[in-house]
Homo-oligomer: A and B are copies of this chain.
């Protein structure tokens, strides 16, 4: 029954040069698809190219696109997950690559490329071993993180690694190896002689922009503070987003060094520095999982601090019913973990467990939070007291730890730096050195939500209020978010204005308002 066309075909195959740009021979023209998918590389081919027998692929297969540099002739390749298209988006003889994949391949549009199936990197087997209860050593972590950093892991494989670290508790040796491997994936920046101080909050509390107040206080008192912060991934703002309202934050390593040399400090976006690039990738699946991934958190935080040469680090662990850490025992255990690992990598880490029954400050969203920071630094009478006091408290601890202030003398020193205007002057110096930016205008749409009940505010749900700000558009719409008109400890009457929502479109304003109005439990009252 089988019709034999083998001999002729074999002859043809042998005669056809491998590089010929013929579709029938599996060669395609490269197309740049300007679609961003947050670091997942997607390779799009036309359904009819498969139907006509030019490529034997199925959606979600892992494929490799292969081409050659037109100048050097050097082989270039990139892997990704396949998507199929049945539209005019791409032609039958084209292969489309999304943003990251196109950039990594580094060939011009129209370049001749071929494609083949790709396998998962062998290090995924190490991840499976860990999931089955095995151990990972330094070499295993190095291999896994190198593949992660080169974007060789699919989103599902990234989830496997995150879950392996989350569910099978790493022992201390593994966690130290993980941390050292994480440091190894990134670049290192070294500043002057110790002490080099740093702080980090494990997050989850809206507002809470203490960094932008603590750093200028410390720098005003002569400490070296090369601070890097992150942008929001699932929160309504990260410190880098908020600082970005006032200054450039995407500094390269050289620019960051300049700023620190000139002013003694910086407040830069860590992502521009590639300090622990594996973490930037792992976090894209970690956050949506909302799992307790503390091993990864400890490793990535300490790796980043070590990578900027910090010698004294203060970790802020907010504790509250809607915070990441909800019991004191949990907070103390996490603190101990930070201390044990940091001791092994020669880094002094102190822990501060802080009150998180409500957001810190009044604004939630990049612009609104920046206004809070300016009010505290500017010593304005209506500046949020909780933000000022927490910042002074953290600054005090760092002054004492680093030996800059006598034991119990830190608060007084920090207060003096703030009240004298020295911290504001230092902040402005840092802003000028990084490159000042004009504060964006207020959002076009605003509305007020009233209190659903009488009472004294005893709790504000950090996650839920952050969600209102996100529905309003934060952080992508920088001026969008929430302003708390009342906060923890305030007494309100039913109907009294409770919070103000800012948005750039009527639809987003309404989504956020409806959510806030229908979730009365966001704010809890007691007497």
Contact = CB atoms under 8 A, between A and B. Distances in A.
Interface in A131-163: 131-132, 154-157, 159-160, 163
A291 B24 CA distance: 37
A374 B290 CA distance: 53
Nearest to A287: B60
Interface stretch (A27-35, A340-348, A399-407): A27-35
Interface string A465-484: 00100111111110110000
A420 interface: no
Given A3-B441, A442-B4, A131 B53 contact: no
Contacts of A89: 33-35, 89
Interface stretch (A8-16, A386-394, A449-457): A8-16
Contacts of A16: 506
A509 B26 CA distance: 9
B36 A476 contact: no
Contacts of A56: 470, 472-477, 480, 503-504, 508
Given A154-B288, A156-B289, A447-B10, A59 B38 contact: yes
Q: Which 10 A-B pairs have the closest CB atoms?
A: A56-B473, A26-B507, A53-B504, A34-B87, A6-B446, A26-B505, A56-B477, A38-B59, A25-B506, A36-B84
Given A36-B59, A506-B13, A1 B156 contact: no
B10 A442 contact: no
B507 A60 contact: no
A285 interface: yes
28 contacts: A3-B441, A4-B442, A5-B444, A13-B447, A13-B509, A16-B506, A25-B507, A27-B507, A33-B87, A34-B86, A34-B89, A36-B47, A37-B59, A53-B444, A53-B480, A53-B504, A56-B474, A56-B477, A56-B480, A56-B504, A58-B232, A86-B99, A116-B471, A124-B290, A156-B156, A156-B289, A160-B291, A163-B167
A258 interface: no
A85 interface: yes
- How many copies the complex holds: the figure is 2
A286 B19 CA distance: 36
Interface string A114-135: 1111011000100010011000
Given A53-B473, A442-B5, A473-B53, A60 B37 contact: yes
A18 B35 CA distance: 29
Contacts of A86: 34, 36, 99
Contact of A35 (B85, B285, B470, B505): B85
Contacts of A439: 1
B507 A288 contact: no
Contacts of A446: 5-6, 9-10
A132 to B, nearest CB: 8
Nearest to A233: B58
B444 A9 contact: yes
A272 interface: no
A155 B156 CA distance: 7
Contacts of A10: 445-447
Contacts of A5: 441-442, 444, 446
B2 A371 contact: yes
A376 interface: no
Q: Which of A44, A232, A479, A506 has the most CB of B within 10 A?
A: A506
